[in-house]
Amino acid sequence: MDSWKTTARGRQLQKLFKEGFIECINNNDTTFAKNDYEEQLDWILASQPLLSFISNVETHLTLDALSGHKPLNFDIPIEVESKSTSPRISLNFKAAKW
C-alpha cells in the first residue's frame, strides 16, 4: 500500500492503518488493468467488529476495456431480527371523507 505516488490524503490514510483504526483486507490481486499496466487501486477498508465478518473476497475479470477496473465481491453475513407489529392504531384524518 505504499507508493511513490502517495498523496497527502494517502499519507493520512496510511497513518490510520499504522494506528490500527482501520484495516485493509488485501487479497493481493490487482483491481485495475489497462494498457499493460496493472495496479491494486480498489481496496476493502473496515474496522472492528465488521472486519471479522468479511469473508470470501474475490477479484473478478475486467468488465469493460474503458474503465479497466475489476469488480471486488465479498460477503458480510447480516441477519435482521423481526420486530413485532405495533398494537397502536394509526389513523389518517386528512384522507377521511367527512
Half-sphere exposure of 57 (CA within 13 A, CB side): 16
Looking at residue 29, its amino acid is D
For 50-80, write each residue's pLDDT tens digit. Answer: 888 999 988 888 777 677 888 888 899 988 8
pTM: 0.57
pLDDT for 28 equals 78
pLDDT for 2 equals 56
Instruction: Provide CB contacts within 8 A for 50, sequence distance 6+.
Output: 76
pLDDT for 1 equals 53
Phi/psi at 82 (5° precision):
-75, 140
Whether the CB-CB separation of 36 and 61 falls below 8 Å is answered with: no
For 2-54, write each residue's pLDDT tens digit. Answer: 556 778 888 888 888 888 888 888 777 888 888 888 877 778 888 888 888 99
Bigger pLDDT: 49 or 1? 49
